[in-house]
Structures are given as C-alpha cells and as structure tokens.
C-alpha cells in the first residue's frame, strides 16, 4: 500500500488555509486540495508492505514520544515544479519544531530500513496541484496560528477521481517541556 506520514491540522489552520484556497480559485487554474485533506507531510514512503504497518505505527509512536504539541503559523505561498504545472503550497512555521520532528522521524525510518523520499523536508501544506502559475500574480495568503497535536500514518489511495487518505494510526503529541 502507498504510505506517508503527516501532521494533521487544527480547525483554525484548516479554515484559514481554506480562505487562501478560495482566493487562489479566483486567480489560478489547477486541481485544488479539499480542506479535509490538508496536511503536512513529514515523510513519503510510497509502496510499503502491509505486513510492516504495525512496525511503522510503533516507530511513529516512539519518534513522537516526549514531543509536546507544536505551535505553528502560516507563512508565504511557494511552489514546486514547473511554472505551468506546479504544486502550490503555503509555508507553515514553528520555530523549527516541525523540522526537528521530521528529522527525528526520518532518522528512525532510515535506521529501521524503511525507504522514503529523501528530498529535504520543507514544512508546507499543499493547496493546489497542476497549477498554472504563468498567468499572473498570486494573492496574498491569509495567515493564522494554531497548535498541531496529531501525527498520523496514512494510506493513500489514488485509484479514484480524488486521492483518499486513510489514517492507519494516529499519535497525539502530549509530551511536556520543549
């Protein structure tokens, strides 16, 4: 099955990202990500043996142990890929906490023999795919803050019209201290 590990987002961030997405609809053509699918990908594993899902869940649990919830806020818009077919996203900042958790998680994946896409981690929430950015100026995004407290192991099913992400296990961040 196709697997990735991502942070889920609190309602206040989802609502603000939806407002930015609505602004983009007026400016950019492409495929919009539905708000109930917004997330921050920590590691994309891709095709993974179903028999190792239990092991992955416990790895995720260990990697998150002792990490308190993460205060985050939305930043600038950015994009990957080609100008006429870009992935358009909004940055999410957390004083390095999201980066530290991604690093810890990726380190554990490596030492446990789980391959993942090795591109550097960049904390972002994808708002559009196949976006045509050639036709003008992007709007100023809405910004807001919120607390991230859930990280999940997701199965991604791309066989339908829209991707379907199903959480296979979820970890609540609840450690004390920083």
| Block residue for tokens 């972002």 | 124
Stretch that binds ligand ATP, among 49-57, 63-71, 99-107, 156-164 (CB under 6 A): 156-164
Size of the site for ligand ATP (CB under 6 A): 11
The nearest distance, CB 66 to ligand ATP, in angstroms, is 25
- 74 and 143 in contact (C-beta within 8 Å)? yes
Residue number, 2 or 142, with CB nearest to ligand ATP = 2
End-to-end CA distance of the chain: 35
Query: Which of 70, 103, 73 has its CA nearest to residue 90?
Result: 73
Residue number, 40 or 64, with CB nearest to ligand ATP = 40
Residue 3 φ then ψ, to 5°: -125, 140
Site string for ligand ATP, 46-85 (x = CB under 6 A): ----------------------------------------
């Amino acid at each position: 099955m196709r697997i990735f590990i991502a942070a889920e987002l609190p309602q206040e961030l989802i609502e603000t990202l939806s407002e930015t997405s609505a602004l983009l609809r007026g400016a950019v053509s492409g495929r919009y990500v539905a708000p109930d699918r917004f997330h921050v990908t920590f590691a994309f594993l891709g095709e993974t043996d179903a028999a190792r899902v239990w092991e992955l869940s416990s790895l995720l649990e260990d990697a998150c142990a002792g990490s308190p919830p993460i205060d985050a806020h939305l930043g600038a818009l950015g994009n990957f890929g080609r100008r006429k077919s870009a992935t358009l996203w909004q940055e999410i900042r957390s004083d390095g906490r999201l980066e530290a958790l991604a690093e810890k998680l990726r380190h554990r994946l490596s030492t446990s023999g789980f391959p993942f896409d090795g591109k550097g981690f960049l904390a972002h929430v994808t708002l559009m795919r196949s976006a045509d950015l050639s036709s003008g100026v992007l709007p100023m995004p809405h910004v807001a803050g919120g607390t991230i407290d859930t990280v999940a192991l997701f199965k991604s099913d791309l066989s339908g019209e829209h991707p379907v992400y199903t959480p296979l296990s979820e970890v609540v961040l609840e450690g004390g201290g920083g």
